[in-house]
Amino acid sequence: MLGQHFLIDGNIREKILDAAEIRDGECIVEIGPGTGYLTAGLLGRGARVIAIEIDRRLVEGLARAVIPNLTLVCADALRYPYRNLSTPYKVVANLPYNISTPLLFLLIEAGPKMVLMLQKEVALRLSAHVGDANYGALSLVAQFYTDVRILCSVSRNCFRPRPKVDSAVVVFDPPRHPRQRVRHPAYFLKLVKGAFAHRRKQMLNSLSDAGFPRRNMEEAMHRMGLSSTVRGETLSLASFAELSNILSDIHADPLDEHP
């Protein structure tokens, strides 16, 4: 079943559906519908569901019944063109755990409201701040684009097959106000990901390895009063935004250097 663990707990399903605040006729993208347990709840709340499932056997099982307002897509969720959807949508899903982190980077940048079941470890990374052991690139990206909060913890006993870890339901709301203003969001994201590519390395070395010009980094860090030995996990979201903006001042078109 390609790393999927299927939710079987009705109380948790209702919490997910309530948090999604589904309006009648609203488009919901569900990733990894599996046997259709959450799907049925979404449809019962009046949603139009686009269910993306890579396992053809599961798609065939769901397709045996003709279900109104359900569109089944047999595809890799990591390759689905979410930005091409012609209507506003939300994502409500029990994400396949083996692809949850790369999928989160993709979905968060796309910007919809989301209610997701995730490994508890990933949920803690999403909500972590400077000084937390779980703080990293995923924390910064999530908090730059969204208001993220853990709705509830979920025991491993709420799934079949039973996973080896506990889980959590996480809610991502589009922020009412921009977290930080950055002139080049794509460059900011490359900066954040590069800073945490090698967690044990000093940030200057890690970013140099990621292709950022060392001389530009040294100048920007000097302007901010940062030590050349600073590590990414000690910088806040505001500091990364400031560093990104200073670097874009130093180089008129920073994305030219990072195709």
pLDDT of amino acid 168: 98
Per-residue pLDDT, 1: 46
Q: Is the pTM of this model over 0.85?
A: yes
Please tell me the predicted confidence (pLDDT) of residue 2. Answer: 55
* pLDDT score, position 167: 97
Query: 135 lies in a domain?
Result: yes
Q: Is residue 178 part of a domain?
A: no
Domain membership of residue 71 as a residue range: 6-173
Same-domain status, 168 and 65: yes
Q: Look at the chain and report how many structural domains it folds into.
A: 2
Let me know if residue 146 belongs to a domain: yes
DSSP state of 75: S
Residue 179 lies in a domain: no
- Whether 16 maps to a domain, the answer reads yes
Q: Are residue 38 and residue 153 in the same domain, yes or no?
A: yes
CATH number at residue 253: 1.10.8.100
Of 123, 146, 173, the residue at which a domain comes to its end is 173
CATH number of domain containing 78 = 3.40.50.150
* 106 part of a folded domain: yes
Low-confidence ranges of the chain (pLDDT < 50): 1, 258-259
**What pLDDT, on the 0 to 100 scale, is given for residue 250?**
87
Q: Are residues 102 and 15 in the same domain?
A: yes
Tell me, what's the pLDDT at 252? 58
Per DSSP, what are the bridge partners of residue 7? 159
Tell whether 35 and 101 lie within a shared domain: yes
| pLDDT at position 6 | 94
Do 39 and 158 fall within a single domain?
A: yes
Q: Which of 126, 112, 106, 135 is nearest to 170 (CA)?
A: 126
Whether residue 40 is found in the same domain as residue 142: yes
47 within domain boundaries: yes
46 and 148 in a single domain? The answer is: yes
